[in-house]
Amino acid sequence: MKLTGESHNIWSILKLSNKIVTPALAFLLALAARAQTIQPKPRQNMMNEPFSADAITTLARTLADGTHITRQTMTVKIYRDSAGRTRSDRMPSPLLAGAPPIPATILITDPLAGYSYILDITQKIAHRSVMPRGAAVVPPIGFPAAQDPPPPPRTANKSQPQFKTEDLGTQFMEGLSVHGRRTTVTYPVGSLGNDREINNVTEIWSNTELGLMILQERSDPRTGETITKLENVSRAQPDPGLFQPPPDYKIVDVTVAP
């Protein structure tokens, strides 16, 4: 099986899923891409910092007629061992209550062996790709970039969104020390056809020791409030078998054209 593209890591494979001829795999990869609630930045392997946790994403929204919608949209079980290997089991919730469950998407990165895997649990296939040497491993859930949002353009333009960042200090969540930052993006009147200012507010609380985002709260009056929170955090060493394809899975190599 062959993919075309410049990048060799697992996230580029997700983006290139439309080039995969197998319909089942294309669907699986597209689902994995949609399942990734937070787009993390690559960082160097986190050695000797094992953990496991559950990342829960919920959506709350109020419709124009006053109807309130609150639903859990995603559960991700995440693991990392002391060698820096990671695994995430992404389980999206069905859109309608009572609908059949959506198959989980399992992503594994193994910098020791130099491979990353996407497991198709329905067909029992492990789609394996080679990790480039020295590649930074993307954590199974995001660690926000430690930088401020881009400033507004120097040229005065009243229609451009305005950015404001606030330091929220430190507190404890899930037994971990976390540092918070709030970013507010304000869209001026008329910039989106709006007759009032629109404020999009994002709060991120992260732990630098484990290199993890512990809580993200995103509020947008157009789409509602989305919260992703890490729960059941354990610093114990996960089962080594979690970072390998099950023995009854067929391994299919995914290659990238030069």
pLDDT of residue 2: 44
Q: Model confidence over 111-155: pLDDT tens digits?
A: 888 999 999 999 999 999 998 776 555 554 444 334 444 555 444
pLDDT of 211 reads: 87
Reported residue count of the chain is 258
Coil/strand/helix, residue 248: coil
pLDDT at 137: 53
| Residue 36: predicted pLDDT | 39
β-pair partners for 137: 43
Q: Are 206 and 212 in contact (CB under 8 A)?
A: yes
Q: Quickly count helices (H) and strands (E) in the chain.
A: 2, 14
What type of residue is 115?
A: Y
Residues in the chain where the model's pLDDT stays below 70: 1-46, 134-157, 256-258
Can you give the pLDDT at residue 99?
A: 87
